[in-house]
Amino acid sequence: MYELVEELGSSRDAFKAATRQCFDEMAAAGITTCGEFHYFHHGDGKGIPYDLDTAVVEAAQEANVRLVLLNAVYERAGFDEAPLSDGQRRFRTDNMDAYWAQMDELASVMRESKRGDALGVVVHSMRAVGVQSLRHVAKEAHAREMVVHVHLEEQPKEIEDCRNTHGMTPMALLLSSVESPDHLSRFCGVHCTHSDPRELREFLDAGGSVCICPLTEAALGDGVFRSLDETNGCVR
């Protein structure tokens, strides 16, 4: 993935063309709506901040695919607050004020399309976003009545790294960090492949939901979601 990031260079046109190809292939396969988990925000890190976000919107509109842009907050490279690598710098969220300003701008662009396009909130993962930012996102998303998506416990190493830093799993960190059960009810955990059944049950009882991604999980060899009994139908 990081090699592709570098291959795209600093060209917005190249990024849009690659994105458009993906949406064209979706449309040809009969896919009419895409939830795009989006975090490739910056061209070369030196130009206009968030200059690639509107390119995704334009590409989807031109391919006639309805877009739900799930716009990601991405701050760091790991639970230990490691700095972003070269390949990750284009994913960077500068600060939360800039993030919400860009969300408002994107909302305006999408309303003009009159195609039913929509926005969603993303915390990329518990490793990529700090606790304070997580709480801020949860509070603001609740006020805006928006769902928050987060990659969660997709791979065993993620769980191991979180335990080494925080003494708990990513799911437990999420449960202990979000300040209000009302805020937690807006969260959708993406993957939860290796989640502890008891922690997953606590998350679902608080109103959270799970989104499993069989193609991604198969391609990466992450494993098979194994907690259907605990989900009580809250799987997308």
Q: What is the pLDDT of residue 11?
A: 82
Tracing tokens 């701008």 back to the chain, one arrives at 105
Q: What is the pLDDT of residue 42?
A: 86
Q: What is the pLDDT of residue 72?
A: 97
Average pLDDT of every residue of the chain: 90
Q: What is the pLDDT of residue 45?
A: 60
pTM: 0.91
Q: What's the rounded Cα separation, in Å, for the pair 234 and 87?
A: 35
List b or e across 68-83, with b for residues whose CB sees 16 or more CB atoms inside 10 angstroms.
bbbbbbbbbbebeeee
Work out the angle between the directed axes of helices 156-166 and 170-177 (0-180°, nearest 10): 50
pLDDT in tens, 51-94: 889 999 999 999 999 999 999 999 999 999 999 988 888 899 98
In the chain, which ranges are E strands? 33-38, 66-73, 118-125, 148-152, 187-191, 209-211
| pLDDT at residue 10 is higher than 80 | no
CA angle 141, 47, 151 (to 5 degrees): 35
Q: What is the pLDDT of residue 194?
A: 93
pLDDT band at 233 (very low <50, low <70, confident <90, very high): low
pLDDT band at 228 (very low <50, low <70, confident <90, very high): low
Residues in contact with 161: Cβ distance below 8 Å, sequence separation at least 6, in sequence order: 78, 79, 80, 127
| 173, 36, 52, 155: CA torsion to nearest 10 | 40
Q: What's the rounded Cα separation, in Å, for the pair 73 and 213?
A: 20
Residue 219's φ and ψ, nearest 5 degrees, are: -65, -35
β-bridge mates for residue 33, sequence order: 66
pLDDT in tens, 114-135: 788 999 999 999 999 999 999 9
Q: What's the rounded Cα separation, in Å, for the pair 42 and 21?
A: 20
Amino acid identity for residue 206 in this structure: A
pLDDT in tens, 155-202: 999 999 999 999 999 999 999 999 998 999 999 999 999 999 899 999
pLDDT band at 47 (very low <50, low <70, confident <90, very high): low
CB 92, CB 42: distance < 8 Å: yes
pLDDT in tens, 137-168: 999 999 999 999 999 999 999 999 999 999 99
Domains and CATH numbers, the chain: 1-126 (3.20.20.140), 130-236 (3.20.20.140)
Residues in contact with 234: Cβ distance below 8 Å, sequence separation at least 6, in sequence order: 204, 208, 209, 210
Q: What is the pLDDT of residue 46?
A: 65
Q: What is the pLDDT of residue 110?
A: 86
